[in-house]
């Protein structure tokens, strides 16, 4: 598979496969931004940060009895169509992340995609949530929150027939935009999430392209 993001496209400082590459200011060690100088919790002031295009993708897995998975695939869940309800729950959770996690900023999400993939051999369902925003802070927590709540909803929809289900492997697999640039857990990018090469562009290039598109549409 052709890599979704080429290294030369990563214009900002980057983080690749968990390896951090110099995002701290010169002479300053990276620290916990949600703590002030006295060690008290705070919500970081982002007033002076520019608005940039950002994307985040998170994944989660819920493991269950193979019979439960077959029930879901047949659309015979005890509470109704499982994936449809879990998809709506993920979207609602992503949009309400700042109300659930104390130090998260309220952000205006511009798009949310939720996908489910059944692994019949393992008796598991993989959840992937991709979120987009044009704002002053990242959307990683929104993607993670959406994936977690989707998995919890699958559990709730099926617990009447299988209370042994296990939720795990909640993780961020991709983020772009902002000062820290691109994080990609796998060098080729998260498979099947619909990322385009434009997701690796700098924020300024991304915005300039969108401006040109809008002007062309208006003409």
Per-residue three-class SS string for 199-219 = HHCCHHHHHHHHHHHHHHHHC
Is 165 part of any domain? yes
- For β-strands 15-16 and 183-184, DSSP reports them as parallel
Domain holding 190, by residue range, is 50-218
Domain with 125 in it: what CATH number? 3.30.70.640
Choose the catalytic residue: 113, 156, 162, 169: 156
Share of the chain above pLDDT 90, in %: 50
Is 15 a member of any domain? no
- Give the separation between CA 62 and CA 155, rounded to whole angstroms: 8
Examine residue 22 and state whether it is found in any structural domain, yes or no. Answer: no
Active site annotation includes 45: no
SS3 category, 85: helix
Number of domains in the chain: 1
Q: Pairing state of beta strands 124-135 and 52-63? A: antiparallel
Residue 24 lies inside a defined structural domain of this protein? no
Report the range of poorest mean pLDDT among 83-92, 166-175, 193-202, 207-216.
193-202
Q: pLDDT tens digits, residue range 146-197?
A: 999 999 999 999 999 999 999 999 999 999 988 888 899 875 444 444 444 4
Average pLDDT over residues 73-94: 95
Domain annotation covers residue 193: yes
pTM above 0.75, yes or no: no
């Amino acid at each position: 598979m052709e890599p979704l993001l080429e290294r030369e496209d990563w214009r900002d400082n980057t983080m690749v496969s968990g390896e951090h590459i110099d995002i701290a200011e010169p002479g300053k060690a990276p620290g916990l931004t949600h703590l002030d100088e006295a060690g008290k919790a705070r919500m970081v002031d982002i007033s002076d940060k520019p608005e940039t295009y950002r994307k985040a993708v998170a994944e989660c897995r819920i493991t269950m009895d193979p019979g439960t998975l077959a029930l879901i695939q047949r659309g015979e869940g005890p509470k109704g169509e499982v994936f449809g309800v879990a998809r709506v729950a993920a979207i609602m959770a992503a949009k309400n992340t700042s109300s659930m996690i104390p130090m998260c900023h309220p952000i205006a999400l511009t798009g949310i995609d939720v996908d489910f993939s059944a692994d019949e051999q393992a008796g598991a369902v993989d959840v992937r949530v991709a979120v987009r925003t044009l704002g002053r802070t990242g959307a990683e927590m929104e993607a993670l929150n959406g994936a977690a709540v989707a998995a919890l909803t699958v559990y709730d929809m099926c617990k009447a027939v299988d209370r042994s289900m296990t939720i795990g492997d909640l993780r961020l697999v991709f983020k772009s935009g902002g000062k820290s640039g691109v994080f990609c857990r796998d060098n080729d990018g998260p498979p099947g999430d619909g990322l385009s090469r434009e997701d690796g562009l700098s924020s300024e290039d991304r915005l300039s392209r969108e401006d040109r598109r809008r002007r062309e549409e208006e003409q």
